[in-house]
Amino acid sequence: MWVLSQPHVGICDMETRVNKQPSQTYDKEAIKALIQTLRHLFQMRPGLLVIIAGVVRNADTFQTFQDECAHSDFAVEEITFATKPMRKQKALFYAAAVPIRILRVTSGR
């Protein structure tokens, strides 16, 4: 995927739940493929909700993804996530030193 290290892409609606964990990539060209895939999924399933979460390693690439979403008329909303220090984490451990971003993406139409 894009800026994310070990990103998680969740695609769900009332009938389907899919969890993809693509390998990390920093290639902006991969963003175009992701946008095309999302566009296709939104056409197939109106009302689909996509959750994309991961660690931001490259702010420019992350911004490119958001720009491509806007260009495709996708609605993108950031979901607030307050990180906890490692000693307070009880499950699904993560490093709090790098920003974690969670995005809610819909077709916007």
Q: Three-state SS for 57?
A: coil
What is the model's pTM? 0.71
Give the fold, CATH level 3, of 4-106.
Answer: top7, de novo designed protein (3.30.1710)
For the chain, 109 residues long, give each residue's pLDDT as a single digit of tens: 333 333 445 544 444 444 454 544 456 778 888 899 899 989 998 888 888 887 787 888 888 889 999 999 999 999 987 777 878 888 776 777 778 888 999 998 6
| Separation between Cα atoms, residue 57 and residue 5, nearest integer Å | 7
Contacts of 12 (CB under 8 A, 6+ apart): 18, 48, 49, 51
Neighbours of 94 (CB within 10 A): 14
Contacts of 44 (CB under 8 A, 6+ apart): none
